[in-house]
Amino acid sequence: MKDCRQFYINGQWVNPLANKDFAVINPATEQEIAVISLGTSKDVDLAVAAAKAAFSTFGYSSVEERISLLESLLKQYMDNYDAMAHAISLEMGAPIDFATNAQADCGKGHIESTLAALKEFEFSRTLGNAQIVKEPIGVCGFITPWNWPINQIACKVAPALATGCSMILKPSEIAPLSAQLFAQMIHDAGYPAGVYNMVNGDGMGVGSAISAHKDIDMVSFTGSTRAGIAIAKSAADTVKRVAQELGGKSPNIILDDADIDKVVKNGVLHCMSNTGQSCNAPTRMLVPASKYQQAIAVAKATVAKVKVGNPAEHGNHIGPLVSEGHFEKVQAMIQAGIDEGATLLAGGVGKPEGFETGYYTKPTIFSDVTNDMYIAQEEIFGPVLVIISYADEAEAIRIANDTPYGLAAFIQSGNPERAQQVARKIRAGMICINGGSHTYTSPFGGFKQSGNGREWGEFGFDDFLEIKSISS
């Protein structure tokens, strides 16, 4: 079992001020694999003081210096790439092939796209009689989740470093191993002491201290909408900037001119990817009434081939949910769908046969769902798909927008121009047409209760910059 109880503060691994151990559990085996310490507000104070002191120098570093440091960080990341994939697989149950090809790739992708953006970014320009300067906002506080752990760390940390900010990170206490490794990469890359700090902890102990801290200039949070609301309220007293990437209930709109067999199959597989633990997963499949029975048959046949497997084994399968608490939440949501009267097309409550140990759940599909049902409105965050019928295109658009969320949407059509027209009417931050992928250079973020601000590539710079006008 790994001992990860130290925090990374002011360029050193230091002991917590108070001993409060927390066991890290492998969700596939239910066994302890590491122990961390849950920090306190006093640990946060030390980290913020270090970041504040470091900002007085790093905030005025040259672009060339920051490019060199990011290039060094990228080298450290690639030298430790396999170790990162292994850590993610252990801590949150991602199958090792998926952890290697998708999860760990995010760290590489975000550092590379940040580097490319930094080399071209315009930090000052002349407008009229004024020089318009974009300067780093200051000390940043990051609170990141467990479902795509290094993705959410890298897409915040890399642009913050690129723009000259200093920072404190609180990774998820459920999946902290990837963050532990990343902190060591930062150290080995040669960043000045205090620029990057990491304190483990839970939301009440460390997260709330970060969001309310008077010396933190901005907070970036990824997680549930419920937690995001609490963070925004806590941050309001110090009038700090708050950027959030929150929940989603993304529609997958299948238009009547789409290849039903193909797009339904792809939609089911996409929803089940990462065991459904993705905020932008296409969890509401909208199908024209005339093609509904065909779609149900394809969905049922497809989900029957979705394999559940051990994350340590190679192959194309999904792993367990991340924790016992999350498993119980997803199980309750599945039961709620049954109680509401939706038709259980596949899956259901309980664990898959042969997986009594571990937080495994059955790939589940509900049909005969109406959009006012609980399972159609609330984010389940598991391998659960709901299929909803619609009468015409106008109703499909109405149903797609009838949600408190607006993170992503997916549109399938045999007519790309028609799909573009529908996309303009959807209230969501990211639209993927006919399987188009979201790349590291595209902005990531949503409308409504899916949050504010944008991450990834050059779009991730804006939240970390203040604008100054110098007139002469």
The predicted pLDDT at position 224 comes to: 95
Residue 231 sits in the same domain as residue 273: no
Residue 217 sits in the same domain as residue 100: yes
In degrees, rounded to 5, the angle at the alpha carbon of residue 131 between the alpha carbons of residues 128 and 133 is 135
Residue 33 sits in the same domain as residue 133: yes
Report residue 78's pLDDT band, with 50, 70 and 90 as the boundaries: very high
Residue 462 sits in the same domain as residue 392: no
CA 208 to chain centroid: 19
Q: Which of 91, 112, 173, 245 is catalytic?
A: 245
Residue 185 sits in the same domain as residue 268: no
CATH code, 106:
3.40.605.10
- In the chain, what's the furthest Cα-to-Cα distance? 74
Among residues 45, 34, 47, 42, the alpha carbon closest in space to that of 7 is found at 47
**pTM for this structure?**
0.97
Tokens representing residue 443 in the block: 């902005």
> What's the average model confidence in pLDDT over 318-328?
98
Give one DSSP letter per residue of 233-282, joined into a string: HHHHTTT-EEEEE-----EEEE-TTS-HHHHHHHHHHHHHGGGG--TT--
Tokens representing residue 314 in the block: 């190679």
Do strands 284-288 and 384-390 pair parallel, antiparallel, or not at all (unpaired)? parallel
Tokens representing residue 395 in the block: 């109703």
> What's the average model confidence in pLDDT over 309-330?
98
Helix, coil or strand: residue 390: strand
Helix, coil or strand: residue 321: coil
> What's the average model confidence in pLDDT over 81-99?
98
Neighbours of 397 (CB within 10 A): 19
Residue with tokens 């604008």: 467
Q: Which of 279, 379, 432, 458 is catalytic?
A: 279
Helix, coil or strand: residue 411: strand
Respond yes or no: is residue 245 known to be catalytic: yes
> What's the average model confidence in pLDDT over 258-276?
98
Residue with tokens 């230091």: 14
Residue 217 sits in the same domain as residue 265: no
H-only helix segments in 280-392: 292-303, 324-340, 374-377
Order of strands across the sheet that contains 21-26: 2-4, 31-37, 21-26
Contact partners, residue 242, CB within 8 Å, separation at least 6: 211, 218, 219, 220, 221, 231, 232, 235, 452
How many whole angstroms separate alpha carbon 366 and alpha carbon 257?
23
Tokens representing residue 127 in the block: 């407008």
The predicted pLDDT at position 33 comes to: 98
Q: Where does residue 21 rank: exposed (0-12), middle (13-18), buried (19+ CB within 10 A)?
A: exposed
Among residues 366, 347, 351, 300, the alpha carbon closest in space to that of 321 is found at 351
Helix, coil or strand: residue 452: strand
The model's pLDDT over 116-156, given as tens digits with 9 standing for 90+, comes to 999 999 999 999 999 999 999 999 999 999 999 999 999 99
Residue 187 sits in the same domain as residue 303: no
> What's the average model confidence in pLDDT over 45-69?
98
The predicted pLDDT at position 123 comes to: 98
How many whole angstroms separate alpha carbon 417 and alpha carbon 422?
9
How many domains are there within the chain? 2
Helix, coil or strand: residue 446: coil
Residue 234 sits in the same domain as residue 256: no
Question: What angle do the packed helices 63-79 and 177-189 form, to 10 degrees?
Answer: 130
Residue 313 sits in the same domain as residue 461: no
Among residues 123, 55, 118, 57, the alpha carbon closest in space to that of 468 is found at 123
User: What percent of the chain shows pLDDT beyond 90?
Assistant: 100
User: What percent of the chain shows pLDDT beyond 70?
Assistant: 100
Q: Where does residue 223 rank: exposed (0-12), middle (13-18), buried (19+ CB within 10 A)?
A: buried
Respond yes or no: is residue 432 known to be catalytic: no
Domain limits for position 224: 2-246+450-471
Residue 98 sits in the same domain as residue 207: yes
Residue 347 sits in the same domain as residue 467: no
> What's the average model confidence in pLDDT over 352-366?
98
Handedness of CA 30, 31, 33, 35 (dihedral sign): positive
Q: How far apart are the first and last CA of the chain?
A: 62
Q: Where does residue 92 rank: exposed (0-12), middle (13-18), buried (19+ CB within 10 A)?
A: buried
Residue 273 sits in the same domain as residue 351: yes
When the pLDDT of each residue in the chain is averaged and rounded to a whole number, the result is: 98
The predicted pLDDT at position 111 comes to: 98
The model's pLDDT over 34-43, given as tens digits with 9 standing for 90+, comes to 999 999 999 9
> What's the average model confidence in pLDDT over 217-232?
97
Report residue 272's pLDDT band, with 50, 70 and 90 as the boundaries: very high
What pairs with residue 192 in β-bridges? none
The model's pLDDT over 416-443, given as tens digits with 9 standing for 90+, comes to 999 999 999 999 999 999 999 999 999 9
CATH code, 277:
3.40.309.10
